[in-house]
Amino acid sequence: MFEQIKHNMETIAGVAVYPILSLLIFFVFFVGLGIWVFSYKKEKIDEMSQIPLNDNQTI
């Protein structure tokens, strides 16, 4: 089955662009996510970490 997929992919013109494009999209996403995580305010992280421990349950 992989042979058929490989043959079909080889016949598409410009198919080599797709792996490069997908790598760039994922790289930009994870770099952006890392920047967002490291720039997050410590006070907000501490506040969110206490949410499960709060006894104030609203029904």
pLDDT for residue 57: 64
Q: Is position 40 within any domain?
A: yes
55 pLDDT more than 90: no
Q: Is position 28 within any domain?
A: yes
| Total tally of structural domains belonging to the chain | 1
Q: Is position 4 within any domain?
A: no
Q: Is position 44 within any domain?
A: yes
pLDDT for residue 59: 55
- 3-54 pLDDT tens trace: 777 777 777 777 788 889 999 999 999 999 999 999 999 999 888 888 888 7
Q: Is position 57 within any domain?
A: no
Q: Is position 33 within any domain?
A: yes
Range of the domain at 32: 24-50
18 Cα distance to chain centroid: 17
pLDDT, greater one: 59 or 13? 13
Q: Is position 31 within any domain?
A: yes
